[in-house]
Amino acid sequence: MNEPLQRPLSRIVIVGGGSAGWLTAGLLASRHRTAGERGVQITLVESPDVATIGVGEGTWPTMRASLEQIGISELEFLRECSSAFKQGTQFRGWVTGQADDEYYHPFTAPTGYAEINLVPHWLAQRDSGSFAQAVSAQSYICDASLAPKQATTPPYAGVLNYGYHLDAGKFAGLLQRHCTTQLGVRHVLDHVTGINNTADGDIASVSTTHSGDLPGDLFIDCTGLSALLLGRHYRVPFIDKADVLFNDSALAVPVDYSSAQSPIASQTLSIAQSAGWIWDIGLTTRRGVGYTYSSQHTTDQAAEAVLHDYVARTAPSALPHFEARKISFRPGYRACFWHRNCVAVGMSAGFLEPLEASALVLVELAATMIGEELPVHRGVMDIIARRYNEKFLYRWERVIDFLKLHYVLSRREGPYWVDHRQASSIPERLQELLHLWEYHAPWHSDFHQRDEIFSSASYQYILYGMGFSTRASVRLVREVEAARAAQLFAENRERAGHLLHHLPGHRELLRRLLESGSAR
């Protein structure tokens, strides 16, 4: 093998900041030393003119481990990013649109999930309550606006599983400060004016207006929808998925609480509308509200009227400051994500829609895999790139399946919802699973990878929250399993009652944590 291919990989250049760029920088820098003779030098270059979209955003529970690895304390994160706890998503109006139409996708797995599939046993008594209530205490806790932990619970630990709601702009700022002051990441605030190749087609450096050429061994494209490196430079094709997921537009608006004592929702609210759905995310200082919709099924003006009406009903005092910001996107992903010595992370790799908050977790997973399998030298990079592409193609397709599931199961009328149920818009794998699940409840064996992005538990919550019918039989189940299922149902009811009595209110806990941090 020739010498250039064996040269150690020691310089990573991340092009683009925001949540994707700085989260990637933090996860890589915390895993690989950024100083010393054997350290990996990480440079992040971003334009001084590109502002981060500071909307309210949700994370998965994985963010707790990511922040802990990076070295940011939970208290600092809560304080600096106006963050609150997220325990899952509550869907309103997705099935029929009637007043009582709501269900939960909680973050806590069904009780006994590692040992027994409770779905057949719940189906035998489904009239006694919702699936989420039968197998998890979390929906009760969210309904009561309670926190997922107590004040004495250690940082990043919880009585129930949780992620966060955060201000994306403030999050990028916190990560930037931490990465540059604590992890040795070099920050270059400059315009990228050119991309320079080696003779064999790798990227050798990026040129900037004032900082000259920035050389690197691996380049990470975090330039958002523009995909400056992977898309514009290498012309890696974009796989459009607008035929499956129709939403391509969003309007976002910050909404103040009506009072300083207003409850903070412990879950993302997703409220179905005629041509999309409204998100409502509770931060400590405000709510992040928006409407994501299909431009093929409504106009921007009509969408803004829908959002304005929602704010008028839920926070009339915020109307004088109502000013919605338009965000446009193409649902889809790149044909490959790692090409030569360039890998795209975040929206440069693709974007689908905000349903189920998969954007940041895909950044976490990408940065983690790059960090774990960082090539020792260029000679093995193509092997790792091939494995990376296979893994993330699978993940993007599974995210599409799971998001589409919500639309396929809806019984709402109107062109937007009816079009979503057309067989031609439903991925073949999802159609196959839905047919299987008419007779067999989803379980571990339906998913083949150890680290599936959505587990069978998530599918169970959506399927049976939306009234899916499975003709599963418990006749052949051993009596001992039926007895165990009954015991687990009873234990869940008891635990829910206990937690309702002992967990603090969500706003109350956040206030106590932030006040104790200020005192220290």
pLDDT tens by residue, the chain, 520 residues: 455 667 789 999 999 999 999 999 999 999 997 655 667 999 999 999 876 655 669 999 999 999 999 999 999 999 999 999 999 999 999 999 999 999 999 999 999 999 999 999 999 888 889 999 999 999 999 999 999 999 999 999 999 999 999 999 999 999 999 999 999 999 999 999 999 999 999 999 999 999 999 999 999 999 999 999 999 999 999 999 999 999 999 999 999 998 889 999 999 999 999 999 999 999 999 999 999 999 999 999 999 999 999 999 999 999 998 999 999 999 999 999 999 999 999 999 999 999 999 999 999 999 999 999 999 999 999 999 999 999 999 999 999 999 999 999 999 999 999 999 999 999 999 999 999 999 999 999 999 888 899 999 999 999 999 999 999 765 556 677 989 999 999 999 999 999 999 999 999 999 999 998 654 5
Give the ranges where 234-357 is alpha helix by DSSP (H): 300-314
Q: How many domains does the chain have?
A: 1
Order of all β-strands in the sheet with 238-240: 238-240, 332-334, 350-351
Sign of the dihedral through C-alpha 383, 205, 183, 220: negative
User: Tokens in use for 318?
Assistant: 């915020």
Asked whether residue 368 is domain-assigned, the answer is yes
In a domain, 131, yes or no: no
Question: Residue 229 is part of which domain span?
Answer: 3-81+164-237+331-397
The model carries a pTM of 0.96
Can you give the CATH number for the domain in which 175 is found?
3.50.50.60
Residue 354 counted as domain residue: yes
Q: Is 407 domain-assigned?
A: no
Looking at the domain assignment, is residue 492 inside a domain? Answer: no
* 344 in any annotated domain: yes
* 87 belongs to a structural domain: no
Q: What pLDDT does residue 519 have?
A: 47
- List Cα–Cα distances, 245 to 241, 249, 357, 363, 399, in angstroms: 6, 12, 15, 21, 11
E strand or H helix that includes residue 501: helix 479-502
- CB neighbours of residue 483 within 10 Å: 10
